[in-house]
Amino acid sequence: MKYDDYDTNFYIMCSCLLENFNDIAKIDWAKHVELNENGNINADIFKLDNNIFLATHNETINQHTLYRNINPIFCKNKLNEHMGINVSSMFTDLLPEQDKIIMKLNET
């Protein structure tokens, strides 16, 4: 507030963050994926502790879906289906548990 041109929204957001500081979750990693040819189709993947979350968005038909506590294989398949292309190679480092799950399934 020491400057003449200050943004009121900035101070409102700072106040909101301060009030809710203890409720903010630590996210291990997050990734936003969006198609270059169609920005209306996108997805957000994030990991909180040992849980993977996937939020898919299709703005064209106003559809938003959140998948909670999913395994890496479901995440990869749902993301490929939603985006309409194979994006698996982008997540090899982010979804390391996939190989362990496949090995357990094969053993079973």
Identify residue 90 by its one-letter amino acid code.
Answer: M
Determine how many CB atoms are found less than 10 A away from the CB of residue 78: 17
39 domain-assigned: yes
68 domain-assigned: yes
Residue 66's domain spans which residues?
25-107
| Pick from 63, 18, 67, 77: nearest CA to 47 | 67
**Across 75-95, average pLDDT:** 77
What percent of the chain lies above the pLDDT cut of 70?
82
What local confidence, expressed as pLDDT, does residue 74 receive? 86
CA-CA distance, 59 to 37, in Å (whole number)? 14
Give the N- to C-terminal CA distance of the chain in Å, as an integer: 64
Instruction: Answer yes or no: are the C-beta atoms of 45 and 57 closer than 8 Å.
Output: no
What's the total number of domains in the chain? 1
66 domain-assigned: yes
1 domain-assigned: no
Using one digit for the tens of pLDDT, what is the confidence trace for 52-70?
Answer: 899 999 988 999 999 998 8
70 domain-assigned: yes
